[in-house]
Chains A and B, each alone.
Chain A
Amino acid sequence: MTNLLIIVVLVGFFAGLFAVMTWAERKLLGRVQNRPGPNRTGPFGLLQPVADGIKMLTKEDIVPQDCDRVLHFLAPVVMVAFSILTFAVIPYGRHWVPVDLDCGVLYFFAVGAGTELAVFMAGWASHNKYAVLAAMRALAQLISYELPLLLSWTPVVMVSGTLSAQGIVLAQAGWRLGFIPRWNVLTPWGAVGFLLFLVAAVAECNRSPFDLPEAESELIAGHLTEYSGFKYALFFMAEYFGMSALSAMAVTLFLGGWGAPLPGLAFVPTPLWFLGKLFVLLFGFIWLRATWPRLRLDQLTRLGWTGLLPLCLINLIAAAVWWAGRDWSGPGQIARWLVTGACIGVPLAALLRRNAARHPRRTYAYAAA
């Protein structure tokens, strides 16, 4: 009975968050683009998600005649099901872990991998050229970014010594110099790992600037072209679920999970800290969408294979050095920071320098004139 209640609360909360996020995203995008955004339904357009929900539920469900009917039906179901499953192992507060698995982090990414398959299923089953192109793009993107995503959190597991999500949060408890939290993001390898994780997570969510499978201006709506009504809404929901889940995992792995940012603020209930950090990351996702143009496919794969992947491997070595110096004290700690920083900084500078030489800054005719 308790388990059922937890499931209902979790799904209800994230479904509510999905509704609020759609409104917040449209409002924020409107603000960035100097327009009001939704403002007709309810005060500040707050009832827009309700109107959208009613519209989606009542729209005709069109199934193309030549499509693979089974896969066409299964794709949105698989996508939402796997997205919801990822919420099971996130520690939302000190005692708020639905399932504290011994290898929770591995479970999270294993289940998340299932959603990628659904994008392909949707694209291929639609029997539409745009949708198939989207499926191919999605596969190329996922092959390129799955490895950096996995390698970006491997140092966290290595240093924390556990695959349990709650264990990783507890490993980040405590303070340096009495007031600086021991969050992974505040270490040289953790900062780089966090950035790598975020880039790979945006690509895994198919969000802008990595929204090539959807690419409205090129592929109509990509794998969603032949979907309408509630099935379309399910894809939309799964995208926001995926974004929320990956943000929640980023909070857990790098931002101290439910931990307070300062010793004096530990009296605030832990789920509030978790939610605060989650909302900051979700805002970042929306901000990225508002300000970054879409990459080309070749740029996307090049970034994955020649940018993120080598950096992930270098970061792994830096984390190993950091871990090796865990018992050093006094000047040893300063040396630990310097050596780890150099392990990342030197190859990173060389990589950036090489890339800058290979890809000189573009000059545009209209800008030069």
Chain B
Amino acid sequence: MNFVALATVIAFTLACAAGAFVLRNLIRSVLLLVGAWTGIALYFLAAGAEFAAFAQFLIYVGAVSMVALFAVLLTRGGRPGGDAPSVAPSRSGRLWAVLAGAAVFGVLAATILRTPLGTSGSPPAPLPVREFGRELMGAQAPALLEAGVLLTAALIGAVVLAAPDKPKP
């Protein structure tokens, strides 16, 4: 991907993310968030990480967005043409919001600055999916298993919670 295309993708992603924050209509915000997630997937694609790009699109656009939209539809903000309920934040609320945002930004910035990033001239060759799978099943297997067990437990828990109660004798 050339520089212009990459810059367009980045601009699109940032614009969508900013729009998601600014808009008062929750549905439009979530749809813009979907645009931002799509932009991130395109960025992965540009970096040669096909698997991560498609997985990002499948999970975030295909699943997470659905859950977010479903949750929003159950609120007042989900009404067609309706905006989110307008509640003026208090002075202390604003202060806490700024502090929390600054803390998150600080942690992220510190992590990025401390991480040694390879800056060799030639871009790395794309990793074949088979190799990617071997890596996940080899060195990264414990982390993958932990995440898998956690998600499966959450899934079973959700099904059990949603299942109807047994009739009392």
A interface residues (Cβ-Cβ under 8 A, vs B): 66, 68, 71, 101-103, 106-107, 109-114, 116-117, 120-121, 124-128, 132, 135-136, 139-140, 142-143, 146-147, 150, 161-164, 305-306, 309
B interface residues (Cβ-Cβ under 8 A, vs A): 27-28, 31, 34, 50-51, 54-55, 57-58, 61-63, 65-67, 69-70, 73, 79-81, 128-130, 155, 159, 162-163
Residue of A102, A147, A150, A309 near B129 (CB, 8 A) is: A102
Q: Are B50 and A139 in contact (CB under 8 A)?
A: no
Residue of A113, A121, A136 near B57 (CB, 8 A) is: A113
Interface centre among A71, A106, A309 (most CB of B within 10 A): A106
Contacts of A132 in B (CB 8 A): 73, 79-80
Contacts of A150 in B (CB 8 A): 58
Q: Are B34 and A305 in contact (CB under 8 A)?
A: no
Q: Are A102 and B50 in contact (CB under 8 A)?
A: yes
Whole-angstrom CA separation of A234 from B2 in the bound complex: 33
Q: Are B130 and A143 in contact (CB under 8 A)?
A: no
Q: Are A143 and B70 in contact (CB under 8 A)?
A: yes
Whole-angstrom CA separation of A132 from B79 in the bound complex: 8
Q: Are B81 and A306 in contact (CB under 8 A)?
A: no
Contacts of B81 in A (CB 8 A): 66, 68, 127
B165 to chain A, nearest CB (A): 13
Contacts of A110 in B (CB 8 A): 54-55, 57-58, 61-62
Whole-angstrom CA separation of A306 from B164 in the bound complex: 11
Known: A66-B81, A139-B70, A305-B159. A103 touches B63 (CB 8 A): no
Q: Are B34 and A124 in contact (CB under 8 A)?
A: no
Q: Are B80 and A127 in contact (CB under 8 A)?
A: yes
Q: Are B58 and A136 in contact (CB under 8 A)?
A: no
Residue of A71, A113, A135 near B61 (CB, 8 A) is: A113
Q: Are A136 and B162 in contact (CB under 8 A)?
A: no
Among residues of B, the one whose C-beta sits closest to the C-beta of A132 is B80
Whole-angstrom CA separation of A68 from B73 in the bound complex: 16
A35 to chain B, nearest CB (A): 39
Contacts of B129 in A (CB 8 A): 102-103, 162-164
Residue of B28, B50, B70, B80 near A103 (CB, 8 A) is: B50
Q: Are B50 and A101 in contact (CB under 8 A)?
A: yes
Q: Are B66 and A106 in contact (CB under 8 A)?
A: no
A250 to chain B, nearest CB (A): 18
Whole-angstrom CA separation of A139 from B72 in the bound complex: 12
> Which 3 residue pairs are nearest across A and B when measured between Cβ atoms?
A113-B62, A110-B58, A110-B54
Contacts of A139 in B (CB 8 A): 66, 69-70, 73
Residue of A120, A147, A305 near B162 (CB, 8 A) is: A305
Q: Are B54 and A106 in contact (CB under 8 A)?
A: yes
Known: A68-B81, A113-B58, A135-B73. A306 touches B163 (CB 8 A): yes
Contacts of A146 in B (CB 8 A): 62-63, 66
Contacts of B70 in A (CB 8 A): 136, 139-140, 143
26 contacting pairs across A/B (C-beta < 8 A)? A68-B81, A101-B50, A106-B51, A107-B54, A110-B55, A110-B62, A113-B63, A116-B62, A117-B31, A117-B61, A117-B66, A120-B66, A126-B80, A127-B81, A135-B73, A136-B73, A139-B73, A140-B70, A143-B63, A143-B66, A143-B67, A146-B66, A162-B129, A163-B51, A163-B129, A306-B163
Among residues of A, the one whose C-beta sits closest to the C-beta of B128 is A102
Contacts of A114 in B (CB 8 A): 57, 61-62
Q: Are A121 and B31 in contact (CB under 8 A)?
A: yes
Whole-angstrom CA separation of A112 from B65 in the bound complex: 14
B12 to chain A, nearest CB (A): 15
Extra contacts, 6 of them, besides A102-B129, A127-B81, A306-B163 (Cβ < 8 A), are: A66-B80, A103-B129, A113-B58, A136-B73, A305-B159, A309-B155
Whole-angstrom CA separation of A114 from B57 in the bound complex: 8
Contacts of A71 in B (CB 8 A): 31
Contacts of B155 in A (CB 8 A): 147, 309
Whole-angstrom CA separation of A33 from B130 in the bound complex: 50
Whole-angstrom CA separation of A325 from B129 in the bound complex: 24
Contacts of A142 in B (CB 8 A): 66
Contacts of A68 in B (CB 8 A): 28, 80-81
Interface centre among A101, A117, A125, A132 (most CB of B within 10 A): A117
Interface centre among B69, B79, B162, B163 (most CB of A within 10 A): B69
Among residues of B, the one whose C-beta sits closest to the C-beta of A108 is B54
Contacts of A136 in B (CB 8 A): 70, 73
Whole-angstrom CA separation of A71 from B73 in the bound complex: 16
Contacts of A66 in B (CB 8 A): 80-81
A365 to chain B, nearest CB (A): 25
Q: Are B58 and A109 in contact (CB under 8 A)?
A: yes
Interface centre among B81, B129, B159 (most CB of A within 10 A): B129
Q: Are B62 and A309 in contact (CB under 8 A)?
A: no
Q: Are B54 and A103 in contact (CB under 8 A)?
A: yes
B167 to chain A, nearest CB (A): 10
